[in-house]
Amino acid sequence: MKILIPILTVIYAAIAAIFGVGAVCLLVLAAMELWSAVVPGEGMALSARAATAIESIGLITVALMSLEMAQTVVEEEVVRRVHVSSPTRVRRYLSRFLVVVVVALSIESLVGVVEALHRNPRELPHAAAVAVAAAALLAAWGVFVRLNRSVEELEPEGLSQATSEDAKVQE
Half-sphere exposure of 29 (CA within 13 A, CB side): 14
The answer, as to whether pTM is greater than 0.75, is no
Half-sphere exposure of 87 (CA within 13 A, CB side): 14
Half-sphere exposure of 125 (CA within 13 A, CB side): 1
- Would you write out the chain's pLDDT as a tens digit for each of its 171 residues? 678 888 888 898 999 999 999 999 999 999 999 998 888 776 778 877 887 888 888 889 889 888 988 888 888 777 776 655 566 677 777 787 888 888 888 888 888 888 888 778 898 999 999 999 999 999 998 898 888 777 767 666 655 555 555 555 555
Per-residue pLDDT tens over the stretch 45-55: 887 788 788 88
Instruction: Report the alpha-carbon distance of residue 42 to residue 91 in Å, rounded.
Output: 50
Task: Determine the distance from the C-alpha atom of residue 11 to the mean position of all C-alpha atoms in its chain, rounded to a whole number.
Answer: 20
Residues 6+ positions from 28 with CB-CB distance below 8 Å: none
Residues 6+ positions from 27 with CB-CB distance below 8 Å: 59, 60, 63
